[in-house]
Structure 1
Amino acid sequence: MTTSNATKAAVSPGRPGTSTSGQQAKEQRRVAAATIVGTAIEWYDFFLYASAAGLVFKKLMFGPMGPGAATIVSFLTVGLSFLFRPLGAFLAGHYGDKFGRRKILMVTLIAMGAATTAIGFLPTYATIGIASPILLVCLRIIQGISAGGEWGGAVLMAVEHAPNDRRGLYGSFPQIGVPLGLLMASGMLTIMAKVAPGDAFLDWGWRVPFLLSFVLILVGFVIRHGVEESPVFAEIAERAETVKQPIGKLLREHPLLVLVAALIFAGNNAVGYMTTGGYIQNYSTDPDGPIGHQRSDVLLAVTVSAATWLVFTLLAGWLSDIIGRRNTYIIGFMLQMLGVFLLFPLVNTGTLGNLYLALISLTVGLGLTYGQQSALYAELFPASIRFSGVSISYAIGAIMGGAFAPTIAAYLVQSTGTTQAVTWYLAGMTLLGLIAVLGLKDRRGIPLGPDHEAEQAVSPLVGFKRV
């Protein structure tokens, strides 16, 4: 199928229920596989750092600062990368709207993998002194820039290739790459904690999962290299209708929409970073803390919860094609609120069974407020500035939500002596996400192609005709 034919088949119809040819369906399956594998590898790298921050880096790179300060600073480096996500989002959005989604995805994949592999070779503070944490922070910044550019391209490749009536499901494929990445990262750390227990894990065991990234990047590169460009962008490029300054147009015409979209993600992301940011892992394994579980036991619990998160993320995408993105979010945030209030009371009992129950309960709401995000974001913004819109909304939401959630949680516990303040913080972020989604109209099935820019420019904000 030629690019122009693929374009007409994929973006011309304006109603849900569009049928696809066998060849186009094959390409859609290839895109689905590429987005799942690529994002899983990207987030494996990203979450591997977050998990290692509390388990490894606080001792090996920041140890001289003392236990309390080292914990907070190590989590600050997790959040630091979020400050550079907007830079990655701005760069990817600008060049993605000008030169295409596919090229950007190749660049972000390579950059993330190179930074992660380099961390695996990084000497500790005991070996090279202050240069060790400085180099670690620099590599984390590269991860942040890559993550900021990755997500927007991956979701648009998935959603813009999808049939109109299955955007939620197809859009959930890059979303499940996130719990898959967490599952892979926690799983590899669990294996190495068993293979190299105790001091051996700190001596060399933690490095193996980072070095494995080099092999995974090669796999991801091969899979992504064979995928066609997004049909929406292909049609824009064919007509020579790319916007010269897409970010300027976005911020000039749609600033409030970007903020509301960011708040929706922040409501999910703050809660999710209790595990993806490594806080629960650190809190429940700290030998000086109230729990004191074995490292391998906690990592296995996080791995299992990542699997349930994956299931509910996929379910959310499928469900949003039936009842709408907005309704799925409302259900999801209500269940997420329940999970937030169960989290620490269950974890603080000190039993492994309740730790599993707490994390699994939390993933129900996390999945149901995440799987539909790709489709929701893609349907919010006009085609010519869509990459910029989804990338920047996502990056801002990540800063507002997950960037410093582990740091805030650690500070609240050290300041108050209990986890109750953390619960109320997470509940407040969940409520903020729910309020934001109530401010949006559902745009399920809206045409995504450049022929419908006027319709896409009508504001989805409740009470607004145009942003």
Structure 2
Amino acid sequence: MSIAELQLPPSALHGKKRVLTSAFVGTTVEWYDFYLYGTAAALIFNTQFFPAGSDVAGTLGAFATFAVGFLARPAGGIIAGHLGDRIGRKSLLVVSLITMGAASTAIGLLPNYATIGVFAVIGLVLLRLLQGLACGAEWGGSALLSVEHAPSRLRGFFGSFTQVGSAAGMLLATGSFAVAQALTTDEQFQAFGWRLPFLASAVLVVVGIYIRLGVEDAPAFRKLKVENRIAKAPVWEVLRYHKRALLVTIGLRLAQPALFAILAIYLINYLAARRDDTTSGVTAVLIGSAVGLASGPLWGWASDKWGRRNIALVAIAGIGLFIWPFFWFLDNGPLALLPIAMLLGMNILHDAIYGPQAAWFAEQFPVHVRYTGVSLGCQIGTVLSGGLTPVIAASLLLAGNNTPWLICAYISGLAVLSFIAALAAKDPVGDRLRDSDAHDEFEVAP
């Protein structure tokens, strides 16, 4: 996708390319590390670290530790938000990148259950906690670094470069496992092949750090520091004075991450168990992630042109409906057509919400508590939805007598809550479209 295709003036990107590259590359590395675990949980961890008992118990154990990383994300968001609103966005992003890379590399070196017993499980949980802390710190800072540097009418497009890092990270994570599986036999993959993608993280982190060190905080935040208007207790201020914005951002993070967890994580295990197919899901995720590199910026640009709310409302309603025929298709449809279903679910419904999300969340909070606000809203919402969805889905499948209707009802229920949140959210772009004199308070601080 070129600048000309999006009708962006060349001046809009003047001096901003390093910022966009930093947002994209840094977030890609972070998400690569985070998603490696999700793919490994679906493919290998149930036998490497949870071999005792039934296959179902092993799968639940693997997905439960996957959820641990999400549970740690609010803590990472709180810590990074407090420090990021006081000392700056850039410093926290470098620390989060190093932490994530170190944890992933250590997972690649961790002995399995057969070698050190329960200590393997303990080590895996602790490293997953570190991943969660780093991921909780990453998103808010990267989102703000791109959005706060953006021209006022291109925040959605600029913020999408942080968002699209998720698709790139998923593409790299899934692709690295596909390559490892292709280059090794089943026995070799079980023995050591699954470790190679984790060990590769160390190289990617070095690249990400190099790029991020060349970016400074946005002028609006630097002005706050010069004028000594930094929030002393940003977490408390968000909880006391910005409860509505916090609840809105939490609500907006319910349906979209849950759908993503179904499409990118749970799908692989579901097809392996129900249809003895371990490749179709991985292939579909790869295709959806590759297309997401273009669809994310496209939806970000669209939200700058037509408003965030209208696009989100249609997509959220679509998620609530889409999930029902999607599970029927997984059980009965020709899997050769799975990439088409993935494009509809991931690149149209999911990305229509996710692409503009960095800008939309940032627009809910004033600059002096923005890192804290967007981090808390994003990470709490993600814990309540995406982080728990794989283990909830596995449990609901059992509760539904091995039929997925309860999973579908769960996703549809989250969609209702997100729909309400979208109605309540501020939409400066929509306000400007309705009234050209509407005041933009994005860079205003008390």
C-alpha distance 125-190 of structure 1, shift in aligned 2 (>3 A): same
**Partner of residue 329, structure 1:** 312
1:102/1:230 contact within 8 Å kept: no
Residue 261 of structure 1: how far off its partner (Å): 1.1
More displaced stretch, 312-321 vs 32-41? 312-321
**Partner of residue 359, structure 2:** 375
**Partner of residue 269, structure 2:** 282
**Partner of residue 287, structure 2:** 304
**Partner of residue 133, structure 2:** 145
- Where does 1:13-412 land on structure 2 (aligned, <5 Å)? 25-276=13-264, 278-286=265-273, 290-293=274-277, 295-349=278-332, 351-363=334-346, 364-412=348-396
User: Does the residue aligned with 1:401 lie in a helix, a strand or coil?
Assistant: helix
Residue 403 of structure 1: how far off its partner (Å): 1.4
**Partner of residue 5, structure 1:** none
2:85/2:368 contact within 8 Å kept: yes
More displaced stretch, 412-421 vs 167-176? 412-421
Q: Which of 411, 428, 448 is residue 442 of structure 2 equivalent to?
A: 448
Deviations 1:15-60 (A, max 9, x none): xxx999x6x8443111001100000110010011011012111111
1:346/1:357 contact within 8 Å kept: no
2:255/2:319 contact within 8 Å kept: no
Deviations 1:150-179 (A, max 9, x none): 000000000000000100100111000011
Hey, what's the Cα distance between the residues in 2 that align with 1:347 and 1:361?
14
Hey, what's the Cα distance between the residues in 1 that align with 2:298 and 2:189?
36
User: Does the residue aligned with 2:263 lie in a helix, a strand or coil?
Assistant: coil
Residue 342 of structure 1: how far off its partner (Å): 2.9
Hey, what's the Cα distance between the residues in 2 that align with 1:315 and 1:330?
17
Deviations 1:355-391 (A, max 9, x none): 2232222111000011111111111101111111001
**Partner of residue 13, structure 1:** none
More displaced stretch, 184-193 vs 414-423? 414-423
Deviations 1:410-433 (A, max 9, x none): 011122211121111111112221
2:364/2:426 contact within 8 Å kept: no
**Partner of residue 14, structure 1:** none
Q: Which of 387, 390, 404 is residue 419 of structure 1 equivalent to?
A: 404
- Where does 1:420-439 land on structure 2 (aligned, <5 Å)? 420-439=405-424
Hey, what's the Cα distance between the residues in 2 that align with 1:258 and 1:331?
22
| TM-score normalized by the length of structure 1 | 0.89
CA RMSD for the aligned pairs?
1.8
User: Does the residue aligned with 2:135 lie in a helix, a strand or coil?
Assistant: helix
User: Does the residue aligned with 2:253 lie in a helix, a strand or coil?
Assistant: helix
Deviations 1:268-288 (A, max 9, x none): 111111134x211111123xx
2:275/2:331 contact within 8 Å kept: yes
Aligned pairs, number: 429
C-alpha distance 361-25 of structure 1, shift in aligned 2 (>3 A): closer
| TM-score normalized by the length of structure 2 | 0.93
Gaps of 5+ in 2: 1-7, 433-439
Hey, what's the Cα distance between the residues in 1 that align with 2:338 and 2:325?
10
Hey, what's the Cα distance between the residues in 1 that align with 2:67 and 2:121?
15
Deviations 1:57-85 (A, max 9, x none): 11110111331111111111111111111
Deviations 1:128-157 (A, max 9, x none): 111001100000000000011100000000
User: Does the residue aligned with 1:347 lie in a helix, a strand or coil?
Assistant: helix
Residue 291 of structure 1: how far off its partner (Å): 0.8
User: Does the residue aligned with 1:181 lie in a helix, a strand or coil?
Assistant: helix
In the TM superposition, structure 1's runs of 4+ consecutive aligned residues that sit over 6 Å from their partners are none
User: Does the residue aligned with 2:185 lie in a helix, a strand or coil?
Assistant: coil
Residue 89 of structure 1: how far off its partner (Å): 0.5
Deviations 1:103-144 (A, max 9, x none): 000000000000000000111100111100110000000000
Over the matched positions of the two proteins, sequence identity in percent amounts to 37
2:320/2:413 contact within 8 Å kept: no
Partner amino acid, structure 1, of 2:422: V
Hey, what's the Cα distance between the residues in 2 that align with 1:172 and 1:331?
19
C-alpha distance 312-327 of structure 1, shift in aligned 2 (>3 A): same
Hey, what's the Cα distance between the residues in 2 that align with 1:150 and 1:199?
36
More displaced stretch, 42-51 vs 419-428? 419-428
Partner amino acid, structure 1, of 2:378: Y
Hey, what's the Cα distance between the residues in 2 that align with 1:422 and 1:29?
42
- Where does 1:450-465 land on structure 2 (aligned, <5 Å)? 452-453=444-445
Residue 315 of structure 1: how far off its partner (Å): 1.8
User: Does the residue aligned with 2:30 lie in a helix, a strand or coil?
Assistant: helix
Residue 350 of structure 1: how far off its partner (Å): 5.5
Hey, what's the Cα distance between the residues in 1 that align with 2:286 and 2:275?
19
